[in-house]
Structure 1
């Protein structure tokens, strides 16, 4: 329940006043481990823990600080934390850990100092389970527990499996808890070159700012981390507590509401200082949004009903802001001792998922190839389509010339801001329709990055591209397993497969090609048969796999090149010059960080969505922006400013490119020109792939 009430000044119950003002204690356990046996020593965790402990003490927490602790010390301290929280339902618990961490079997373990863990089987007895920490804190019966894990550094153990990079999402998160990772699940965090790790350093910048709600603190921290790491580290928050939390209230002398506070006459049951004549109200919403009431902000999931007690008598405005940016305000009369109701019934206009928009009908049925046959003929027209025996639908991408990357003219407006597309020469040769491909300057003006430049001309042959990302069902039919994290629910088979490495994608392509009697594209160690390649690498990079040979004349399946991906995302010869694939409004065409979390609060209820729910782009391709990032074949490297014919990307570099953004991405990362990369051996909950097939020249 979210309660507002009056003390000497108007103060929200969720602002958690310092100890001694009527609430239970704030208790924190802070651990930082630098020193390890047989593992890489870390620079900053002890500093992180020391500085965090000092900040928490200033916020009214009773803090136990451990540095370079062994397992017995860590376990004993967690037990003490649990005991300290058990005295009051109103206690606030906080656990902070900085140091090495590892996942195993979807469980997370925090590594003590000076411990030897020669094999994964020893983890349970030699490391501290993060789930145990959560469970012991929950057993205390207090209302709120905060857990911060700056433990997502790269897996330090040689025996670690490829799926064990970083930490995993907690599968059994207790109610009343908020868990914050220094980076997204399955990814790694930077230790930092200064006094603090990147995440903790940013968190400390905002933690003590007066009046900030916890979600604002975490948002500001995430923005700082993204900036500091060049968008390579994105903190993650998992919530099972949905009330507003202010760690450091604004001082009474600076609270504007103080002058409007009504006269009081008796002690308040909440704060022990004052009481007022108040009423209550109930807020009901249909669509997820952020509610603002009397200066307090709370995020509510769809279908919520929120009771609010101890509301000041009078006409009270209640405002809700929806995920699509729409805002509504309703003013309600609150009377003493009575309950008022506010109902927000807005439903956004959503795509008709049963009959999504489709590309033009096929203009040349004779051009549709037979599955398993020779190299398909020229994909000469938008709208041609065919479905292979694996059930994967392919769409034609006619060849042509285009300008790859981003080189906007000075003063050109950004499509993200609602302006026209910045085109070389100011207008698009495609604007009238029917013109040949070419002349497009792809990307955004306001949000581009240096790695999107220089813009450079590219010529591409036609090809066929899968209409959707490869789904879990399609992947399992070829590979015999489903590695996806989001594999629960009736729609899971139709969700994109994720937790697949770039190496996994190569194997999938060749296996599918062989299954259909096609010539495989990829050769490793002189063979096109994945059965002869050995085990799929679990390391970030494996030299023999990185040296894969591409048979450009083969008619089998393959990953798109980076150039092919961008050209297709922008709509090729049918392009309408949107900044994203299919539009310029992220919420209308993409599942990303703003709307992919709106379907539930349980960890398994948000994340990826069934492919094809949102409108397609000009070619009929769906989910090119958002849902999951998509592997491309290319190594990640700088662009070159010279004409290229069907380029395969950089000739060196450890990372492989992925494109399109994902359910964890901010809107700027959904742009068709945006580039990023990760190690080819990594498996991530926000990265999948789609496939292509050459279609003649």
Structure 2
């Protein structure tokens, strides 16, 4: 917990008698001294409010908007008066937009409320809302996803950082780029919906509120005065004293309808569980009689326990209330604080999978054609003791051998050395210019790759073990466990492999872009490892679109377990679809001058890192082995995950 967010307990007790009485009532007067001895600090009572305000009007390809700058400046001034620490950004291009989000994510750590206000162009694409930087220009779906800012991605960067997140999005204005994209996609026979208005997104994190200027799928007015109708109403009603946020927004909605002649009605998407007041009442209201809320004392003690957040306080709460409706949640908080932390020296128990022979290689042959320790050996991993690989075991690994080096570590598959043609031919359906020119790439040494993309169970083990920066990404309602982890940035993926390396003492990392395509193709040259068409029985994608001779299928609209569908010839699952997979490389516009030895490209545009594989939310052409995506390394998105690699000592 950052020191700037805490003050000594004795200061809290001296400042407020109410807090002291609550502590005493919860723990018993005799335990107050014990609490002081156990805790030298608790969170400060002052509310921390932070806000990111962005106004984009000077668009290069979408036409200038008059009011966003006024909207942003006026909103920033209003929020500052309401106690927010405001970061204001005007006319943000893609790079400045992403930097603003990354900086704000850091600023929001430990905040009671983090608010985002955006005024400018936006659009709905499939099930996601996209906010447009001023340099946005795109002609197809792939460019649109990679040159805009996904609202879900923006919100995910705040997961676990602020207690409450509020997003006010004044972004439904007329957008010619959305019109052009829709026309191009209709001409290409694409079925993904494109709307000038915004999409109804799923809110994964609790205590999150998203407010659109108008209902999803419809456009909002920029306004003929200084501000848009939506911002005009917000500026008028946010400072209302003593009115809770939901009631404020009802007033905002009524005012917008009045200003637009009922042509526009704001939309609220809410998972708020607690109340929030932009401007609390000055006077302290008289407490309601206890009979009106028999659980008031328990609620207050729970709030106190949340502030202290130590095992002793949670146990005291559980002992006092025993069967209260908040006790189950208190037990979860206690369990999270007392969970054992794995160390690099531990040897967790694990039953390793049986070895698998690769077709065409003799059982004892090493991938480089040699033998193990001067003789013929075969590593049998099926009955292997629970520990990291020994030096001898590691030297004797063969292509398609599997291993797992701790109970919570990913299952790994050995990939042999070899050469392949990287990129796509100019005749391949759906080809993008950044997939060429084709070239021969050589993978000089065998290496290990995650059999599956990293799952939520594996990520959550990292968090429980003190790694992954403590970040717990939302699952968008798909569930955790064997589902692929999502809402993770490149930086998050790097934090995971760093933790994995520390726990095992081995060299875990992300794949290079060449290694990823080599492993995905597994000796094949077609768009997908199984051939030139695709069906939803082979991968998870937007099945209402087709590729090659394939037919329309199911659009599941969510992720599926990491072990779904068949493995490729190297033994890897879901190299096509389900989630995009981060790799190590910096992004380049093409392969001219790129490494041909399988190493990582670190000389091009490192403002962006590369993603591979496509996702559940994409048309099937984006699942091809050659497709290359790019994204800011600090940004999180609801369909981005990753797969790990491990360097082998031979």
What TM-score does the superposition give when structure 1 sets the normalisation length? 0.43
Higher strand proportion? 1
What TM-score does the superposition give when structure 2 sets the normalisation length? 0.46
